[in-house]
Structure 1
Amino acid sequence: MIVSEDLEVRVGARTLLNAPGQHLRVQPGDRIGLVGRNGAGKTTTMRILAGESEPYAGKVVRSGDIGYLPQDSREGNIDQTARDRVLSARGLDRIKASMERQQELIETGTDAERNKAVNKYSRLEEQYYALGGYEADSEAARICDALGLPARILDQQLGTLSGGQRRRVELAQILFAATAGSGRSQTTLLLDEPTNHLDADSITWLRDFLSKHEGGLIMISHDVELLDAVCNKIWFLDAVRGEADVYNMGWKKYLDARATDEQRRRRERANAEKKASALKQQAAKLGAKATKAAAAKQMLARAEKMVAATDEIRQADRVAHIQFPEPAPCGKTPLNATGLTKMYGSLEVFAGVDLAIDKGSRVVVLGFNGAGKTTLLKLLAGVERTDGEGGIVTGHGLKIGYFAQEHDTIDPAKSVWQNTIDACPEAGEQDLRSLLGAFMFSGEQLDQPAGTLSGGEKTRLALASLVSSRANVLLLDEPTNNLDPISREQVLDALRTYTGAVVLVTHDPGAVRALEPERVIVLPDGTEDLWNDEYMEIVELA
């Protein structure tokens, strides 16, 4: 159970949320969708509810077990296997290791050591049994398989896994901890974009799991089908008012209620504008008379307040104007890759991949999770080096723009402004301010550390950095992740109109349709083929 008390959330001087009293409560059986525009404070609020950071004012009272999946999860010892990471959710990895140590003492120790080890082994075994240890391995494997982590992955070290696989291991660990066998089925789950990196079958399984979860749930997601199927309450964070509206209803009824609220607000805006205009006209007439100057001034002040209120409503309707850069001139084949190979220790991800990116070409990279799609883009971007004898041949005029799905191109310790300057060192200050304004960054937000941005805001910042680059080859790794529906449509429009070359990795069928690809590369074999609509069937599974 989680209860907030007079909660206030700020970033710098900007108030994201003001929730007086016990406005936000999570109890067993509550399945809450935490929604709002990018930058409304969803991720920041979730971190505070999870106890990962402190609110500006007020407090959060927690009771019972909490399972928190952050948006950028980088947990775990990279030398630990995926299986042990999942089992660690119940402490089974430590108990099992201790049991193995006692077993060694029983076999090799002195009589005194052996007797002590037998007693300790018995206590550990009782604890292991109580936590479902003997069934746990198969249970953990079942959850992992449902999330797209087959058995061959489970014995690999975390450091050898892709970013998407690492995140699915973290999700598996949290869900494993909350299953009935753990005795913690009342766990409150806090999940920030849990469907990132999941294929369609895994999303279907997750939807069923969450619908049956007996504990509380707060979920941030832009997957409206998931919200509709799972949630029985909606918390809407209003970015303008800095308030949370609580709707004790499912997704579809919430949408109807929100539509009614928006119509009411627009009527209020129209009425306020009409009254403000009338007051200004009356003030102008009175102002002409010296004896009425004070009354005229009061009328103008009232009119300005009404105008300010309507400006706030307009601000809520603002959207980022996302577009990709006008590509710089280049040769016929600006980027050519031959024999690209990637190994993690003795594990081969892919080998001998050849790829020629012609001017203006449009390519989609497909493959199962862990096939090396993100790794291929990193090799093309020069972020990582090939392990074979192959390499990258740079053509005339090549300018690469790389968008990393984990936002690796953003320095979390630097401000929004400094990150933009670093990405666009040749651009003028006013041009950069105009650019950031188009991507909805202005005022005090420019000084905000990039590490405190939400996932959607980081996506917008990374995309903004591409615009001034004049890139003629864009390497885009899941560019629609974490975006609200309006911002996502902006990215899709940008894809449709961009005239340079694009290499795209995505689970989003809409992004593929917007790109209208000419070719497809299928990993790990590196097979190249002309695009046809049959490949669309495997985009969500890739």
Structure 2
Amino acid sequence: MITATGLELRAGTRILLADLSLRLQHGDRIGLVGRNGAGKTTTMRVLAKEGLPYAGEIVQSGPVGYLPQDPREGDLEITAKDRVLSARGLDVMVAEMEKVQIQMAELTGPAAEKAVEKYGRIEERFASLGGYAAESEAARICSNLGLPDRILAQQMKTLSGGQRRRVELARILFAAQQDGADSGTMLLLDEPTNHLDADSITWLRDFLKNFAGGLIIISHDVDLLAAVVNKVWFLDAVRGELDAYNMGWQRYLDARATDEQRRRRERANAEKKASALMAQAAKLGAKATKAAAAHQMVRRAETLLSNLDEVRVADKVAKIRFPQPAACGRTPLTASNLSKHYGSLEIFSGVDLAIDRGTRVVVLGFNGAGKTTLLKLLAGIETADTGAVEPGHGLKMGYFAQEHDTIDPDRTVWENTRSAAPDTGAQELRNLLGTFMFTGEQLDQKAGTLSGGEKTRLALAGLVSSAANVLLLDEPTNNLDPASREQVLDALRRYTGAVVLVTHDPGAVAALNPDRVILLPDGTEDHWSADYLELVELA
């Protein structure tokens, strides 16, 4: 169980929630929803005890599995398999058993007998935790999340951000099923479907729907919420409050709409009554004998208005328009014979491409095929093992990283954007950030404290402030609410420069209307056709 009492959360000096009490218990499957920036990720981090509240207390009883939006670094030298097994301490025992097996083969006499006894003790403990059956269970979870044996054998440092995040998700789910007693585990999952293909999302949906413990999930996947949650917590950014709905998703949507209508009706009635009181007070105030009554009426009118909720307006949406591209030559970017290895593992080899002015390219390939790596090579973030990337005449490149690598978490929103657009005037930069819903005190907020959706908006603001004529976009619609996602898709449709896009979002591909496709790891290039659309969600 997780219990929060007297909770106050802030982003900088901005109060997100105040005097809040929450409880997550066995059987709760709660959808935590609200617009980007309302405080969902902050709330989740605090409940996981990975962030401190401004005030209040969090009490956890029992194990908690927390999946943040950004993958944790952890020990990057171990294999992905060991990382998953470490959730139950099995990785240490497997390594120790292997070490003792070598000793048993090499030693003789009493030393060998001690080694045999030690091996027996470790194996007994290993068996009590599920042993080899648990290894098989971990492998099954990993496979369902798109992590085959080939990936599990790699060191964590060789994996992409998306692969590391799936390893963390597999680790959390594996831990939650220890001994089959998952009822005591609390899962806190922040956008768990990011980087998952369609089959993995379907499997995860079924897993969570049948999960016996407590669950809080942040997701923009409406189908997932509709299938899984039995309660909804709505973070209202306008009122700075959390509304709890003890019902499933569809009933919540109906109830929330009813609540909004009730609040509007109550406000209209109160404002009408307050207006009448003020008018009557004005009449009575002209007579000295009625001044006290007039003053009382004014107080009653003020009390009526002060008890009303703030006026709800439509949630703000970032107004995203990619830059007017700077003039450039016919082929602003080329690459030849690119290859990339991590140790003995070959990611891809022999990739050639030429990005002509205004061309639109989508990169497809199964998870781990090197899509993100290719964009990093083109952006100059990483160096190819063979081949070269050649800038053409007038190239101005803009790069959006799916893990927000271009954002410095220790610098403020303003400082990050100023670095991306050093030649832009201060007022023009403020206006730009305002269109991305960063204003006032938020400009001084550390980027590391932003939610995933806010980081996406900040990174996109950096792109817009440039005059890039080639955009490298790696999952630009991740973490965005539906309205902001539509703004990005519309910006893609309107942009006249060249685009190289990596995405699992079919809507983004449709908006791009690509000319060509590059298939990894082979590096095959082809003209785009609708036949490839099915691969987008699978890749």
TM-score w.r.t. length of structure 1: 0.92
Residue 267 of structure 1: CA displacement?
Answer: 3.9
> What is the match of residue 229 of structure 1?
227
Residue 26 of structure 1: CA displacement?
Answer: 1.1
> What is the match of residue 312 of structure 2?
313
> What is the match of residue 11 of structure 2?
11
Does residue 392 in structure 1 map to residue 394 in structure 2?
A: no
Equivalent of 2:260, from 259, 262, 273?
262
Residue 186 of structure 1: CA displacement?
Answer: 2.9
Does the residue aligned with 1:462 lie in a helix, a strand or coil? helix
* Cα distance in 1, alignment partners of residues 290 and 445 from structure 2: 47
Does the residue aligned with 2:312 lie in a helix, a strand or coil? helix
Equivalent of 2:447, from 447, 450, 456?
450
Counterparts in 2 of 1:141 and 1:284: CA distance versus 1, 3 Å: same
Equivalent of 2:154, from 152, 156, 160?
156
> What is the match of residue 479 of structure 2?
482
Query: 1:329 is aligned with what amino acid?
Result: A
Residue 436 of structure 1: CA displacement?
Answer: 0.9
Residue 107 of structure 1: CA displacement?
Answer: 4.2
Equivalent of 2:86, from 74, 85, 88?
88
Any residues of structure 2 matched to 1:162-177 within 5 Å, and which?
Answer: 162-177=160-175
* Cα distance in 2, alignment partners of residues 310 and 146 from structure 1: 46
Counterparts in 2 of 1:120 and 1:539: CA distance versus 1, 3 Å: same
Contact 1:131 1:182 in 2 (8 A): no
Contact 1:144 1:150 in 2 (8 A): yes
Does residue 435 in structure 1 map to residue 429 in structure 2?
A: no
* Cα distance in 1, alignment partners of residues 77 and 83 from structure 2: 10
* Cα distance in 2, alignment partners of residues 534 and 275 from structure 1: 63
Over residues 29-77 of structure 1, what are the superposed CA-to-partner deviations in whole Å (9 max), with x where a residue is unaligned?
1111111111111111111111112211111111111111111012332
Specify every segment of 5 or more residues in structure 2 that has no aligned partner in the other structure, as ranges: none
Query: 1:124 is aligned with what amino acid?
Result: I
Contact 1:320 1:440 in 2 (8 A): yes
Residue 278 of structure 1: CA displacement?
Answer: 7.7
> What is the match of residue 243 of structure 1?
241
Query: 1:5 is aligned with what amino acid?
Result: T
My pick for the range that moved more, 334-343 or 58-67, is: 334-343
Equivalent of 2:381, from 380, 383, 386?
383
Contact 2:239 2:309 in 1 (8 A): no
Pairs aligned (count)? 538
Does the residue aligned with 1:218 lie in a helix, a strand or coil? strand
Contact 1:276 1:307 in 2 (8 A): no
Over residues 190-217 of structure 1, what are the superposed CA-to-partner deviations in whole Å (9 max), with x where a residue is unaligned?
1111111000000011111111111111
* Cα distance in 2, alignment partners of residues 446 and 81 from structure 1: 40
Does the residue aligned with 1:445 lie in a helix, a strand or coil? helix
Does residue 467 in structure 1 map to residue 464 in structure 2?
A: yes
Counterparts in 2 of 1:478 and 1:261: CA distance versus 1, 3 Å: same
Residue 184 of structure 1: CA displacement?
Answer: 4.5
Query: 1:11 is aligned with what amino acid?
Result: A
* Cα distance in 1, alignment partners of residues 239 and 143 from structure 2: 43
Over residues 388-422 of structure 1, what are the superposed CA-to-partner deviations in whole Å (9 max), with x where a residue is unaligned?
1x222222221111110000000000011100111
Contact 1:19 1:244 in 2 (8 A): no
Does residue 41 in structure 1 map to residue 52 in structure 2?
A: no
* Cα distance in 2, alignment partners of residues 287 and 470 from structure 1: 63
Contact 1:265 1:313 in 2 (8 A): no
Contact 2:26 2:183 in 1 (8 A): no
* Cα distance in 2, alignment partners of residues 167 and 379 from structure 1: 21
> What is the match of residue 54 of structure 1?
52
* Cα distance in 2, alignment partners of residues 341 and 180 from structure 1: 41
> What is the match of residue 330 of structure 1?
328
Query: 1:256 is aligned with what amino acid?
Result: D
Contact 1:131 1:183 in 2 (8 A): no
Counterparts in 2 of 1:246 and 1:311: CA distance versus 1, 3 Å: closer
Residue 306 of structure 1: CA displacement?
Answer: 5.3
Query: 2:533 is aligned with what amino acid?
Result: M
Counterparts in 2 of 1:107 and 1:343: CA distance versus 1, 3 Å: closer
Counterparts in 2 of 1:397 and 1:109: CA distance versus 1, 3 Å: same
Contact 2:84 2:168 in 1 (8 A): yes
* Cα distance in 1, alignment partners of residues 465 and 275 from structure 2: 41
Over residues 459-491 of structure 1, what are the superposed CA-to-partner deviations in whole Å (9 max), with x where a residue is unaligned?
010011111101111111111100111111111
My pick for the range that moved more, 449-458 or 159-168, is: 159-168
Query: 1:12 is aligned with what amino acid?
Result: G
Contact 1:341 1:351 in 2 (8 A): yes
Does residue 346 in structure 1 map to residue 344 in structure 2?
A: yes
* Cα distance in 1, alignment partners of residues 278 and 475 from structure 2: 50
* Cα distance in 1, alignment partners of residues 285 and 4 from structure 2: 51
Counterparts in 2 of 1:123 and 1:346: CA distance versus 1, 3 Å: closer
- Structure 1 vs Structure 2: percent identity of aligned residues? 71
Contact 1:341 1:387 in 2 (8 A): yes
Over residues 158-217 of structure 1, what are the superposed CA-to-partner deviations in whole Å (9 max), with x where a residue is unaligned?
111111111111111111111254644531111111111000000011111111111111
> What is the match of residue 137 of structure 1?
135
Contact 1:19 1:243 in 2 (8 A): no
Contact 1:148 1:202 in 2 (8 A): yes
Does the residue aligned with 1:540 lie in a helix, a strand or coil? helix
My pick for the range that moved more, 471-480 or 407-416, is: 471-480
The ranges of structure 1 where at least 4 consecutive aligned residues each deviate by more than 6 angstroms after the TM superposition are: 272-296, 298-305, 307-311
Does the residue aligned with 2:56 lie in a helix, a strand or coil? strand
* Cα distance in 2, alignment partners of residues 350 and 248 from structure 1: 50
Contact 2:278 2:301 in 1 (8 A): no
RMSD between superposed Cα atoms in Å: 2.8
Does the residue aligned with 1:156 lie in a helix, a strand or coil? coil
Residue 536 of structure 1: CA displacement?
Answer: 1.1
Query: 1:333 is aligned with what amino acid?
Result: T
TM-score w.r.t. length of structure 2: 0.92
* Cα distance in 2, alignment partners of residues 532 and 375 from structure 1: 24
Counterparts in 2 of 1:273 and 1:425: CA distance versus 1, 3 Å: farther
* Cα distance in 1, alignment partners of residues 489 and 234 from structure 2: 25
Query: 1:6 is aligned with what amino acid?
Result: G
Specify every segment of 5 or more residues in structure 1 that has no aligned partner in the other structure, as ranges: none
Residue 457 of structure 1: CA displacement?
Answer: 0.4
Counterparts in 2 of 1:353 and 1:273: CA distance versus 1, 3 Å: farther
> What is the match of residue 126 of structure 2?
128
Counterparts in 2 of 1:268 and 1:184: CA distance versus 1, 3 Å: closer
Equivalent of 2:413, from 413, 416, 426?
416
Counterparts in 2 of 1:312 and 1:428: CA distance versus 1, 3 Å: farther
Does the residue aligned with 1:71 lie in a helix, a strand or coil? coil
